[in-house]
Amino acid sequence: MQPVPDSTTRVLRWAFAYAVWALVVGLFTAQLVFAGGFAWDQAFQTALRDWLPWALLGPVVVGLAAKFPLEAGRWQASLPVHLAACVAAVFACEFIGAQLPPPEQPNRPGSPGAGQMQPPFRRGATNPPPNFRRDPREPMPQPGAPKQPGRFDGGERNGPPEPRGDGQDPQPPRREFNNPPGPQAREPFNRDTDGKMVRGGRPQPNPAFNPPVPREGFVPPASASERLFGQPRDPAPPPPSPARAAAMRARIHVPIYWVIVCLAHAVAYHRRGEERQRRSAELEASLSQARLQALQAQLQPHFLFNTLNAAATLVHKDPRAADEMITNLSELLRLALDGSAQQEVPLRREFELLDRYLEIQQVRFGARLKVERELDAAALDARVPTLILQPLVENAIKHGIEPRAAAGVVGISARREGPVLRIVVRDTGGGLAPPHQPRDREGIGLANTRARIEALYGSAGRVTLRNGAEGGFSVEMEMPFRA
């Protein structure tokens, strides 16, 4: 049987599990800092919001994996449970994460104002964003050189500004084309006061142009720079509903759930393998001793003496019966010694050995001994420990038939009940009186049988002693069905 861990072992296991979760949070925090541009506090809040729910739900998932394993014969009933638990875990993670303070949005390190929110870039602003692209047609300013007016500056690239005819502010200089001198040179086109294109002259304002005055509260549409670099004018959208938030993050939480389930199954299989190896080592260590004990229980001196004495008596009365008894005894010894090297044999062969033993006892007790069998055909192919039935039948004859002068019955039944093989040996004797316990009837043979069943099958094997409902005594064995 698997040893039950003490309190210290449980505490160490829980401490190790939460140390693993703390390591996961630390690794994701470092990843967000070095690869995502987060500050340490923002990265820690983000990692804690993602992994703290699983640190709390992890033991529950491990318990479900232990109670509903996805293994052969049980996965059809366990899979729906895990699917429902996975959906519930996704919503539970979102609920737990919503109770934590949301982390602030990070800024890239090295950008202006890192660590604080960047102001939007509006039209006419004098602080363009860091990735503002300069017009490639304008010359790059040289260090120390005076500032050169640009294409749209009010400088004097083409001469000083000329005054307007109406005495108002000077007009901006017209754009001149660098045409080669000569008869092919062309004067620039401009518009006259009627809006017609004329060669030469200067552009005149159109008196018919009367732009509308914006009404109060009018907000102009966002420019291209605002759409690219600035913040939206509309307020932030409302947060998604819990169902939508859970659906959005299901691609993260669902794989985590199944990873925990797989790890729980891997640990369980590892423990089973270690337990199986431990049992195999113990069984190999006590194999020789178990063989000697089995022979001692089955070939006790009084059994041999009684058989030989009965044969000696029959030699004068019934030589044929005496010869048959000695032959059966020889065959029984041969089968017992041949099968002692195997741990398990088919139940069919075990009944062949039992028939030799019952034939000897039938010669001894005659009509006082009656044997009844109830055998399931499917159970005869099951593998059972070698020499497992003879000690039980010997115990039934010794305590249920031999002390009484009247005839008695020894019943043997074997049947398969799903994955379990059940064997019952009963007698119609007097059973046990109330002061006595079933353990009081457990001699060397039954004690050896119980030890072998537990060594081979662990908690899956069981030997039960009880008084019969209609009198007598019964021994019931349960073990896994293995063909």
Query: Which pLDDT tens digit goes with each residue over 160-211?
Result: 555 555 555 555 555 544 455 555 445 555 555 555 555 555 555 566 666 6
Q: Residues 97-109: what's their mean pLDDT?
A: 63
pLDDT score, position 108: 46
pLDDT score, position 230: 56
3, pLDDT greater than 70: no
pLDDT score, position 50: 78
pLDDT score, position 111: 44
Give me the percent of the chain exceeding a pLDDT of 70.
62
Lowest mean pLDDT among 74-88, 332-346, 379-393: 332-346
pLDDT digits (tens, 9 = 90+) for 62-95: 888 888 888 887 888 888 888 998 888 888 888 8
pLDDT score, position 82: 87
pLDDT score, position 306: 67
pLDDT digits (tens, 9 = 90+) for 223-253: 555 555 555 555 556 666 767 777 777 888 8
Strands 462-467 and 473-480: antiparallel
372, pLDDT greater than 90: yes
pLDDT score, position 343: 75
222, pLDDT greater than 70: no
Q: Positive or negative, the Cα torsion across 453, 459, 462, 466? A: positive
pLDDT band for position 420 (50/70/90)? very high
Residue 203 exposed, middle or buried by CB count within 10 Å (0-12, 13-18, 19+): middle
Please tell me which residue, 300 or 118, carries the higher pLDDT value: 300
68: Cα within 13 Å, side-chain hemisphere: 15
pLDDT score, position 409: 92
pLDDT digits (tens, 9 = 90+) for 148-162: 554 444 444 445 555
285, pLDDT greater than 70: no
Helix or strand holding residue 351 (H, E) = helix 347-365
Q: Are 131 and 118 in contact (CB under 8 A)?
A: no
pLDDT digits (tens, 9 = 90+) for 318-335: 888 888 888 888 887 777
143, pLDDT greater than 90: no
Lowest mean pLDDT among 370-374, 387-391, 410-414: 387-391
Residues 6+ apart with CB under 8 A from 260: 54, 58, 61, 62, 65
pLDDT score, position 369: 92
Please tell me which residue, 410 or 313, carries the higher pLDDT value: 410
pTM for the model: 0.44
Q: Are 376 and 283 in contact (CB under 8 A)?
A: no
pLDDT band for position 478 (50/70/90)? very high
Q: Residues 300-321: what's their mean pLDDT?
A: 74
pLDDT band for position 300 (50/70/90)? low
Show the domains of the chain with their CATH numbers.
Answer: 7-107+241-274 (no CATH), 287-480 (3.30.565.10)
pLDDT score, position 214: 64
Lowest mean pLDDT among 44-58, 164-178, 285-299: 164-178
257, pLDDT greater than 80: yes
Q: What is the token pair recorded at 365?
A: 């007790």
412, pLDDT greater than 90: yes
Q: What is the token pair recorded at 99?
A: 């109770």
